[in-house]
Structure 1
Amino acid sequence: MEAPRLLLVLCVLLSLSEAREQNNMGCTLRCPDNSTCFNNSCVCKAGFSPEHISITDSCDDINECVPPNSVNCGPFADCKNTVGSYYCECSPGYKLKTGATKFMNLSENTCHEIPFPVWRLPSGISSKNLSAFLDKVQGLSRDLKSQAAEQIIKKFVGVVDGLLEAPGDIKNLSQRDTHRVATWLLSYLEHILRSLAQALPEGSLTYSSPSGTELSLVVKESGSGNVTAGQGHARMLLDWAVVAGAEDSSHAVVGMLSSQHMEKWLANASLALEPEKLVQLTEAKERPVHGARATLLSAVNSVFLSNTNTDKLASPVTFAFSHRPEEPGTELICAFWKNDSSGNGHWATTGCRRLGSGKNSTTCQCNHLSSFAVLMAHYQLEDWKLTLITKVGLSVSLICLLLCIITFLLVRPIQSSRTTVHLHLCICLFVGSTVFLAGIENEGGEVGLRCRLVAGLLHYFFLAAFCWMSLEGVELYFLVVRVFQGQGLATRWQCLIGYGVPLIIVAISAAANSSGYGHTAHCWLDPKRGFLWSFLGPLTFVILCNAIIFVVTVWKLTEKFSEINPDMKKLRKARVVTITAVAQLFVLGCTWGFGLFLFSPESWHDTVLTYVFTVLNCLQGTFLFLLHCLLNKKVRAEYRKWACAVTGNKYSEFASSTGSTSQQTRALRPSESGI
């Protein structure tokens, strides 16, 4: 009995279903948009109202984001209405924990506030400009909850540009502190941009500021394959597998900030070469490499990812950097800015290698991330033989110059205006050579106060020495050409020229470019921007003037020797004139002219000139002592008196002078001619 009853119920249900389908198939009404025909009437779809309409009416969208239909998206999310539906998205300044961008109800996801790093100035750094910069950045963090993240990021880049272009009181910091601030700022930029990028919707963002700073961001769900980011200054290629961090693996961010304005902040930064690189250079150059002078050629490119553990990447990142042309004789290096334990920084190359270079472009590959740049390295080759010659030669000259100074002060028979010039020339050379030996090397690579002071003292005393050499030429001109012995310049005018002119030159140079004093390799004038000509200019002028005086005096000396003794043999006359001329070359400083022809230390002829220049000028004090003291008859007689006074023997002036008075008509030796 039960089976027939079940079959009857089933037949009834099938009949009703067939009747309903036939009724719908027979619906001939043309209903408005967003509605459907049912039982010969128009019914609005879900999300539209009213439920039933006529063919002349329309279905209106239900706004689920306003009462009485509003949905609950949570305290940190906003409802967004769509046609026939809605979605929830996190409010500005908040993001979904899962990394998605939209959700339909509160139970699906939860929004939380995007962390915005709060930074303070590095310890020991006081700067109004940096404090104002931090205040502006914190103001942007408050605006993050009312403005779109993209606009906040662009404003942040503008604030950074303003600081880099107009550092203000940061320029007054020491080089070491400036590098500390640069290290702090580069790390700060990465943290801020990484946080701001989390508030961006999925996609990419490229922005180039009016100052030329470029920012590239790519935001998307983690996946596989490669991704490319960058613009005109630099581009990079990396695997998405290394982008996402462990805490938020579903939402990945990769970005690059390229700035050309960091160059003055990182000026004179040291470059740490790997031991393997030093060995390779030593073998290639066939001499020890003392260090490298690095010049920044490209923009500084800071790279950051969602993944903060980037000290050792699973797969390397490839970069293509655009940069200025390099100088001949230099090497292009792929380097990164390395933060040390003290908060300072320097350029390093560990983990990076150069794949190749084209026209104003270099390709690099690195297995870690930081701030990268292309550097132009000029290696400082150490020639131990040249160093030995310099130290030994200057040490001997210092002893001779000290003896000269004592002689000119104590030997009364030779006192004259020329002796005054000799004395001050020896004093300037003595002080300059002492400072050179003690402080020319810049061991730490940092251009500090000591290095700048050494460079300033060397600049002044060597210029003063050349001024006194020019006065030597003037005195020689009066003595030989004008034959007005004793009628040269007065002592006060000599001191005014000898010490006043170099003081004016140094004062003007320091006022025009105080940062030109000191260099990372040695405490001397920085050759950048032609600052070296503040020394080479006066040097060239003095050498040219003294060279003219030298030619005139040698010609006059030849005539004088002929007048004194016409019967003197030509060979002897040539020997006397030659000895006198060579001696005057050192007195007048003409041997310094060899340094004006040193252009490329790599060439063999410049190497020869370097040795000649070093030997001649390191021994200048020795030649002065030989010429003005040992070869001077009056000085030798005074030395004998001193020796006899020390040993207790009796000195006889007659015995010392009989040999020199036996031949009155003989030609004057160079030492006896007063020249």
Structure 2
Amino acid sequence: MVYFAGYSLSLFTLIIAVTIFIYYKELRCLRNNIHANLMFTYILTDLMWILNTVMHLSTQMDIATCVIVFTLLQYFQLTNFFWMFVEGLYLYLLVVKTFTGENIKLGCYLAIGWGVPALVIAIWGAAKSLDKNAMNDGNQDAVLPCPWMTVHPYDWLYQAPTILVLSANVIFLFMIMWVLITKLWSANNMETQQYWKASKALLVLIPLLGVTYILVIAGPTEGQVANAFLYTRALLLSIQGLLVALSYCFLNTEVQVAVKNHFARWSATREFGNGRSIYNNWSPRSANESIRLNCQPSDAYRKRESTVSETTTTTMVGPNSTTAFLDKPCKRAICEE
């Protein structure tokens, strides 16, 4: 129930966050595209976990459907970890190597985040389907009717890459922290506050880089402490997507500014539309206003008469493009538009 509640809450917030990144064009950049892909993998993983659980609890699935659903779940989970690796790699190149975003194109990140997991899962699926013992292990377990859900040595084909990318992210995190702390020590008073903010922001990188999975990878197995650890683990892992959506979308100043500007433009457009409708519904209050409204000039280029102050400077252009300035008081003047 803790997993189900956490995944449902994360799924709701992640859908809103991805919609914001897709809808607002001013937010489209390499960094935000990486964030959006990571959030999308969280959406697919949470949705597939909920679907897999509901189908196993409410219906009796056949082996083929169970294998397909479980394979998709493993694929989306693996893409989730690889996009965490992409986040770590991007930050490492940006902070430690001081590369710009143009050095590595989005296509390379897409190949790492979506292509490599597909290759790993294809190898794992082929190995399991060719092993008859792996296909028959599920028939001996009434709780796990799907043979591929039974723990098997072939599972290391996708578990090993997961451990590798999490380990790489931990290394990225320490290297980024070392660079920021080094700059903090050598910074002057004007830059100190900025580096302190960057150091505090490292706490936000923990859910982004998936370090939470390493923190709860193992724990006590007996007693009340084990129960508390299981509940804590379920809570932290299920709200991973929620933490990422909050940190990099809803609490992001860039996103907040984009939403506020869009809302301000929408409000101004709405007020302008209401004002125009009021103008269209306006009616003359007197006969003089009705006469002025209905008497339109026949020549669009006719001269316009305007009243100016008593001291007026009039500019006149002669036929030979000579200019004369007349400075004298006048009550009324004729100005060409």
Q: What TM bracket, shorter-length normalisation?
A: 0.5 to 0.7
1:479 is matched with 94
1:496 is matched with 111
Question: 2: distance between equivalents of 1:426 and 1:524?
Answer: 30
The alpha-carbon distance between structure 1 residues 397 and 414, as it changes in their structure 2 partners (threshold 3 A), is same
Alignment of 1:104-115 (within 5 A): none
2:176 aligned with 1:553: yes
Secondary structure at the aligned position of 1:513 is classed as helix
How far did residue 616 of structure 1 move? Answer: 1.8
Question: 2: distance between equivalents of 1:471 and 1:627?
Answer: 17
2:128 aligned with 1:513: yes
CA RMSD across the alignment: 3.1
1:411 is matched with 24
Give TM-score, length-normalised by structure 1.
0.35
Question: 2: distance between equivalents of 1:409 and 1:606?
Answer: 42
1:614 is matched with 234
How far did residue 597 of structure 1 move? Answer: 1.0
How far did residue 521 of structure 1 move? Answer: 3.5
Question: 2: distance between equivalents of 1:615 and 1:395?
Answer: 12
How far did residue 416 of structure 1 move? Answer: 2.5
Letter in 1 for 2:244: L
Aligned pair count reads: 261
2:104 aligned with 1:457: no
Letter in 2 for 1:618: S
2:59 aligned with 1:440: no
The alpha-carbon distance between structure 1 residues 534 and 594, as it changes in their structure 2 partners (threshold 3 A), is farther
Does the Cα contact within 8 Å between 2:7 and 2:46 map onto a contact in 1? yes
The alpha-carbon distance between structure 1 residues 411 and 508, as it changes in their structure 2 partners (threshold 3 A), is same
2:316 is matched with none
The alpha-carbon distance between structure 1 residues 491 and 556, as it changes in their structure 2 partners (threshold 3 A), is same
Letter in 1 for 2:252: N
- CA deviation digits over 1:117-141, x for unaligned, max 9? xxxxxxxxxxxxxxxxxxxxxxxxx
How far did residue 488 of structure 1 move? Answer: 4.3
How far did residue 450 of structure 1 move? Answer: 2.2
Does the Cα contact within 8 Å between 2:88 and 2:169 map onto a contact in 1? yes
Alignment of 1:139-218 (within 5 A): none
2:206 aligned with 1:585: yes
Question: 2: distance between equivalents of 1:419 and 1:567?
Answer: 29
The alpha-carbon distance between structure 1 residues 525 and 488, as it changes in their structure 2 partners (threshold 3 A), is farther
Secondary structure at the aligned position of 2:241 is classed as helix
Please, which moves more after superposition, 617-626 or 446-455?
A: 446-455
2:25 aligned with 1:390: no
2:14 is matched with 401
The alpha-carbon distance between structure 1 residues 524 and 589, as it changes in their structure 2 partners (threshold 3 A), is farther
2:151 aligned with 1:528: yes
Secondary structure at the aligned position of 2:149 is classed as coil
Secondary structure at the aligned position of 2:152 is classed as helix
2:298 is matched with none
* Structure 2 segments unaligned to the other structure (5+ residues): 272-337
How far did residue 466 of structure 1 move? Answer: 0.9
Secondary structure at the aligned position of 1:528 is classed as coil
How far did residue 411 of structure 1 move? Answer: 2.9
2:330 is matched with none
Question: 2: distance between equivalents of 1:595 and 1:536?
Answer: 16
The alpha-carbon distance between structure 1 residues 582 and 446, as it changes in their structure 2 partners (threshold 3 A), is same
Letter in 2 for 1:588: L
Question: 1: distance between equivalents of 2:170 and 2:128?
Answer: 31
How far did residue 496 of structure 1 move? Answer: 1.5
How far did residue 537 of structure 1 move? Answer: 1.5
How far did residue 577 of structure 1 move? Answer: 5.0
* Structure 1 segments unaligned to the other structure (5+ residues): 1-386, 652-675
Alignment of 1:231-380 (within 5 A): none
Letter in 2 for 1:422: H
Q: Greater Rg, structure 1 or structure 2?
A: 1
Does the Cα contact within 8 Å between 2:124 and 2:158 map onto a contact in 1? no
How far did residue 495 of structure 1 move? Answer: 1.5
2:37 is matched with 424
Does the Cα contact within 8 Å between 2:183 and 2:195 map onto a contact in 1? no
Question: 1: distance between equivalents of 2:107 and 2:220?
Answer: 39
The alpha-carbon distance between structure 1 residues 492 and 457, as it changes in their structure 2 partners (threshold 3 A), is same
2:253 aligned with 1:640: no
Secondary structure at the aligned position of 1:596 is classed as coil
Question: 2: distance between equivalents of 1:418 and 1:531?
Answer: 35
2:250 aligned with 1:627: no
Question: 1: distance between equivalents of 2:46 and 2:147?
Answer: 13
Letter in 2 for 1:433: D
Give TM-score, length-normalised by structure 2.
0.68
How far did residue 530 of structure 1 move? Answer: 2.4
Question: 1: distance between equivalents of 2:157 and 2:230?
Answer: 21
How far did residue 435 of structure 1 move? Answer: 1.1
2:161 aligned with 1:538: yes
How far did residue 502 of structure 1 move? Answer: 1.0
The alpha-carbon distance between structure 1 residues 428 and 525, as it changes in their structure 2 partners (threshold 3 A), is farther
Question: 2: distance between equivalents of 1:488 and 1:609?
Answer: 43
How far did residue 579 of structure 1 move? Answer: 3.5
Question: 1: distance between equivalents of 2:203 and 2:209?
Answer: 10
Question: 1: distance between equivalents of 2:46 and 2:268?
Answer: 36
The alpha-carbon distance between structure 1 residues 520 and 398, as it changes in their structure 2 partners (threshold 3 A), is farther
> Which structure ranks higher in relative contact order (CA pairs < 8 Å, sequence separation ≥ 6)?
2
How far did residue 599 of structure 1 move? Answer: 7.2
Letter in 1 for 2:249: C
How far did residue 415 of structure 1 move? Answer: 2.6
